[in-house]
Amino acid sequence: MCLAIPGKLIEISRDAHGVMMGRANFGGIVKQVCLEYTPEAVTGDYVLVHVGFALSKVDEEQAAQTYKALEQLQQLGELDIPDVDDADAKQFFDSTSAAATP
> Which of 42, 73 has the CB closer to other proteins?
73
Contact with other proteins (CB under 8 A) among 10, 22, 44, 52: 52
Is 1 one of the binding residues for other proteins (CB under 8 A)?
A: yes
> Which of 88, 101 has the CB closer to other proteins?
88
Phi, psi of 18 (to 5 degrees): 85, 10
Is 92 one of the binding residues for other proteins (CB under 8 A)?
A: no
The answer to whether the beta carbons of residues 60 and 46 sit under 8 Å apart is yes
Is 27 one of the binding residues for other proteins (CB under 8 A)?
A: yes
Is 30 one of the binding residues for other proteins (CB under 8 A)?
A: no
> Which of 28, 102 has the CB closer to other proteins?
28
SS (H, E, C) 44-65: CCEEEEECCEEEEECCHHHHHH
Q: Is 74 helix (H, G, I), strand (E, B) or coil?
A: helix
